[in-house]
Homo-oligomer: A and B are copies of this chain.
Amino acid sequence: MTVKVGVIGTGSIGAEHVRRLAQQVSGAEVTAVFDVDRERAIEVGAPVGAAVHFAAHDVIDDPAVDAVLIASPGDLHAEQVLACLAAGKPVLCEKPLATTAESALKVVEAEAAHGRSLVRVGFMRRHDFGYRQVKAVLDGGGIGEPLLMHCVHRNASAPSWFTSEMSLTDSVVHEIDAARWLLGAEIVAATVVAVKSSPLAGGLRDPQIVILETAGGVVIEVESFVNCQYGYEVRCEVVGSTGTVSLDTPSTGAVTRSGGRTQPLPDDWRTRFGQAYLDELQAWVDGRPGGATAWDGYAATAVAEACLRSLATGARSTVALADAPTGSPQ
């Protein structure tokens, strides 16, 4: 019983998904691909025997496609996910679900109208072993009542086209989803704090600190630093009424040489979250519950929008979520 997957977008992350689906995920094959760069699509799709289509919608409508993975540019996501819903096919959409809360909400509503849970959003951290350990401690009451959370999200360097806004919509959005998931609570306000920028950040506002607040008053403080120079680092600490639980950089050992004892760091998110991506795909192909829903994708986008407003104005910005549609398959 093999799931035939069509992949839209075969750039960096799309190509990695194709490779994983073809070589590492049990019970999956990639039967169709599309990319605006047709040569790239052929380069990625041909070795795994996938048909290379001329349009995204041809992938969605291909009868040899059971389920669709979307790794196209973010501003195309919402429309493509809606097309998958129209075709009644399960879809795993790389984050973001949409670039505006308004269009993300349309996806939520369309899925609710459809009546089946067909949409998953690629917040891969929910599948990371370390994050799951944190979640288990929280759910088991291991630190009492969560009160606040510290998060660090650092990349060695950002590409030249990266913007201060993308630090919020592309990086911090992961902390937004992780915090909602770990705490089981919606975020109702966001404040971006002005910080001195690194002289190596190419004119970006970088690092940035974001203060998020849940309805219940839990505060999530996030540092995003996309040009930290030294490596990739994602950490968090949840502070509860009786203890704390932390996600640290995974470590399996160290090298001691002149200068000290050094634990290596991952180069980038591919290394750090490679296993999480794989587990995400396997769970999706298996049809197992879990993973971020359309609602999660909508909520994350809505909070990211509040961050953008705060960045622009310097003031705290509130998040007004729509009511979840009746029958919404959260």
Contacts and interface: CB of A to CB of B under 8 A. Distances in A.
Nearest to A225: B239
A209 B262 contact: no
A196 B148 contact: yes
A196 B181 CA distance: 18
B251 A150 contact: no
Which of A23, A194, A241 has the most C-beta atoms of chain B within 10 angstroms of its own C-beta? A241
A145 B196 CA distance: 10
A12 interface: no
Given A243-B256, A247-B252, 17 more contacts: A23-B286, A24-B26, A24-B282, A129-B252, A142-B257, A194-B217, A195-B217, A195-B218, A230-B256, A230-B259, A243-B258, A244-B255, A245-B255, A245-B256, A259-B264, A261-B262, A261-B265
B265 A256 contact: yes
A313 interface: no
Interface stretch (A109-117, A130-138, A303-311): A130-138
Contacts of A239: 207, 223, 225, 228
- Label chain A's interface by main secondary structure: mixed
A230 B250 contact: no
Contacts of A229: 144, 241-243, 258
A198 B240 CA distance: 8
Contacts of A203: none
Interface in A205-241: 207, 209, 211, 216-219, 221, 223, 225, 228-231, 233, 239, 241
A265 B255 CA distance: 12
Contacts of A253: 130, 133-134, 245-248
A197 interface: yes
22 contacts: A22-B26, A137-B255, A143-B255, A147-B195, A147-B196, A147-B198, A148-B207, A195-B219, A199-B241, A225-B239, A228-B239, A230-B257, A233-B256, A242-B257, A245-B253, A245-B255, A246-B254, A250-B251, A251-B251, A259-B265, A260-B264, A262-B263
A103 interface: no
Contact of A263 (B142, B156, B225, B261): B261
Contacts of A286: 23
A195 B146 CA distance: 11
A25 interface: yes
A330 interface: no
8 tightest A-B CB contacts, nearest first: A130-B252, A196-B217, A243-B257, A260-B262, A198-B241, A262-B262, A260-B264, A195-B219
A13 interface: no
A133 B195 CA distance: 25
A209 B217 CA distance: 12
